[in-house]
Amino acid sequence: MDEVTKLTEYCRKLGASPQQAGAMARQLLKRADQLAAERNQTREECMAYLLRLVAQGSAGQVPPEFNPGGEKSK
């Protein structure tokens, strides 16, 4: 199973429609490559970060880096 298929399935499990899940998977791969180049990190580290954000968002949590003033969501 390739990366796009695995990520698409993951996004589907989080509640995305099949069409949304495919688009999300492709965007996650693209953004992981961009972040790796920008941050001088491995692609895997960047993908782990992005997947954490996706999982938190799906659970209705706002990561501290996205809250004004850095306050943690409850």
Domain ranges (residues) in the chain: 3-58
- Measure the CA–CA gap between 38 and 69, rounded to whole angstroms: 24
- The per-residue pLDDT for range 37-63, each reduced to its tens digit, is 999 999 999 999 999 999 998 888 988
Identify the pLDDT of residue 4: 95
For the chain, the average pLDDT equals 90
Residue 35 pLDDT > 50, yes or no? yes
CB 43 within 8 A of CB 2: no
Per-residue confidence band for 73, with pLDDT thresholds at 50, 70 and 90: very low
Output the pTM of the full model: 0.82
The owner of tokens 């693209």 is: 30
Identify the pLDDT of residue 21: 96
- Strand (E) or helix (H) holding 43: helix 43-58
Per-residue confidence band for 1, with pLDDT thresholds at 50, 70 and 90: confident
Angle at Cα 26 formed by Cα 65 and Cα 21, nearest 5°? 85
